[in-house]
Amino acid sequence: MTDEGKIERGTAADRICSDPVYQGAWESIMRDLYKAWVESPLDDVAGRERQRLELDVLTRLKGKFLSYMNEAAMVKAEAE
């Protein structure tokens, strides 16, 4: 990917992560999943594992957006 593409991708990721609708949805989903995980019966191993995996996937998604933003920032800094 070109430096311009990295900057565009990072800018798009920043726009998405900064959007209040995205932020509200993210927080709501994470809160609901965490609550369901914490309140689930200890003997519901399969259900707890599924909820934990969902939390992990969402965390990885946000981490990917952050890596795109950081990569764009580094490309911009190197260009200066």
- Domain boundaries defined on the chain: 3-79
What pTM value is reported for the model?
0.81
So what's the pLDDT on residue 80? 84
What does the pLDDT look like over 18-70, one tens digit per residue? 999 999 999 999 999 989 988 999 899 998 899 889 999 999 999 999 999 99
Residue 8 has pLDDT above 90, yes or no: yes
**CA proximity to 17, closest of 30, 8, 28, 26:** 26
Separation CA 4–CA 75 (nearest Å)? 9
Q: What is the mean pLDDT of residues 65-77?
A: 96
So what's the pLDDT on residue 2? 94
Q: Report residue 56 as tokens.
A: 């992990």
Residue that the structure tokens 């726009």 belong to: 15
